[in-house]
Amino acid sequence: MNRKDFATRLGLLGACPFIIQRLSGSELLPATQDQDEKYKALLGQKQFVENWLSDLLDSMEKHTDRSTREKIVGGCGVACYERHQFKKDIAIAGKGDLDKLIAAYKKNFEIWKEDNKVHIRYGEVSNQCYCPAANYRPSKQDDIHCECTRNTHKTVFEAALGRSFKVDVVESLRRGGKTCHFIVYLT
């Protein structure tokens, strides 16, 4: 792909026009029919992925038991931890020390310790689920998608403190709550 094509694709994804101009080495061109077609193609691909994900989760619900679904979706939560550096940075900052881990979490979440539990909450009220993969699906009373986030927090704690933890979903937007709230059991 040449620089001009690359710059055009950046534009379709919402990149800054000044950056596109610098990368392409040319003056900005007005939108063309070709760009509109590429944008429509991208929207079509997005819709395809959304439909495919819905089909996959619906099929899992129809053909597997809850425990199996929790393991599969939970594996996505572990992979999400591995994929996103800010999640690993929380674990690194809290390595070997619960108080440091809580301090690192506070940069992104409400978190507090209560007896032998640590609460992680996404604010008192949240406007939407923070997972882009979940935002295009209708929520359900016992939404399996929350197992992904539960396992992400479990993985952060285990990576930081070097042992296994139980984590529960107390409340989530996808399950009809006003926010997402998890409890990590320390004992």
pLDDT value at residue 135: 85
pLDDT tens, 2-23?
Answer: 555 544 554 444 444 444 444 4
Average pLDDT over residues 79-95: 97
Interior/surface letters 137-149, b for 16+ CB within 10 angstroms, e for the rest:
bebeeebbbbbbb
> Does 79 score more than 50 pLDDT?
yes
The per-residue DSSP string of 88-100 comes to HHHHHHTTT-HHH
DSSP state of 125: S
pLDDT tens, 28-44?
Answer: 545 677 888 999 999 99
Average pLDDT over residues 81-85: 97
Q: 129: closest CA among 174, 72, 79, 183? A: 174
Q: Thinking of the domain 66-185, which architecture would CATH place it in? A: 2-Layer Sandwich (3.30)
Domain ranges in the chain are 66-185
pLDDT value at residue 23: 45
pLDDT tens, 110-155?
Answer: 999 999 999 999 999 998 899 988 888 888 899 999 999 999 999 9
Spatial contact of 117 and 183, defined as CB atoms under 8 Å apart: yes
Residue 87 CA to residue 155 CA, distance in Å, equals 9
